[in-house]
């Protein structure tokens, strides 16, 4: 998806509305229009980056610092917030719907009805399998970036 077609880029350029909590030179924080719970917010890099690997390292660092700040704010806000989830979907199979990297930050409380479910292969894996998969990842991370 090109930046011109991206709803988050349109929010940033003012052609789509949003309720902002924060804007600086690299990142923005605004309320999610389909909240899991009241207080659900999104943290995005201002530069269009479809996937996590596309986000500039300095923007990602700022996103995490903002997540820490707004997690504390959610807990202190008076909203029901017994816990807080951070969720970043990277790719369609991971449930990414808007292809501009974004970090969901949302308060959680007992009985809120939200949940993730584990797939049929969720179980302790044999050490040999963990080592095999780790080898594949080690090899991939050692390759030069494209």
Q: What is the CA radius of gyration of the chain?
A: 18
Residue with tokens 């605004």: 30
Task: Identify the burial level of 34 via C-beta atoms within 10 angstroms of its C-beta, where 0-12 means exposed, 13-18 middle and 19 or more buried.
Answer: exposed
Cα–Cα nearest to 27, from 102, 106, 104, 107: 102
Q: How many residues does the chain have?
A: 146
Residue 143 three-state SS: coil
Residue of 40, 102, 104, 121 marked active site? 102
User: Is 102 annotated as catalytic?
Assistant: yes
What are the catalytic residues?
102
């Amino acid at each position: 998806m090109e930046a011109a077609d991206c709803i988050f880029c349109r929010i940033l350029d003012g052609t789509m509305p949003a309720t902002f909590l924060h804007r600086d030179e690299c990142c923005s924080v605004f309320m999610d229009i389909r909240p899991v719970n009241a207080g659900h917010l999104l943290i995005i890099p201002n530069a269009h980056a479809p996937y996590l690997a596309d986000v500039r390292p300095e923007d990602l660092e700022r996103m995490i610092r903002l997540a820490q700040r707004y997690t504390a704010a959610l807990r202190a806000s008076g909203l029901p917030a017994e816990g807080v989830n951070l969720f970043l979907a990277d790719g369609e199979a991971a449930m990414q719907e808007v292809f501009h990297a974004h970090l969901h930050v949302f308060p959680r409380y007992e009985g809120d009805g939200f949940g993730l479910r584990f797939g049929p292969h969720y179980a302790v894996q044999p050490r040999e399998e963990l080592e095999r998969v780790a080898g594949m990842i080690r090899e991939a991370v050692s390759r030069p970036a494209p």
